[in-house]
Amino acid sequence: MNTVQGEYIGKNNGLIISIKPDHVMVREKYRVPRGWQNRMAILELFTY
């Protein structure tokens, strides 16, 4: 999959913040009782 910083991925409107050789950092929006909350997720990349 080819992707660049600034693209949206995933089901929680994940915005790609940074791309590094070993991980991708994504900011996702989650529904909370009084609105929305930003959460950061780090997706680790593995090479075999």
Q: What local confidence, expressed as pLDDT, does residue 4 receive?
A: 83
Q: What local confidence, expressed as pLDDT, does residue 27 receive?
A: 92
For residues 27 and 39, the answer to whether their CB atoms sit within 8 Å is: yes
Q: What local confidence, expressed as pLDDT, does residue 6 receive?
A: 81
Q: What percent of the chain is predicted at pLDDT more than 90?
A: 46
Q: What local confidence, expressed as pLDDT, does residue 33 receive?
A: 94
Q: Which residues, 6 or more positions from 25, have their beta carbon under 8 angstroms from its beta carbon?
A: 16, 17, 18, 19, 40, 41, 42, 43
For residues 15 and 25, the answer to whether their CB atoms sit within 8 Å is: no
pTM: 0.71
If one counts every other C-beta atom within 10 angstroms of the C-beta of residue 12, the result is 15
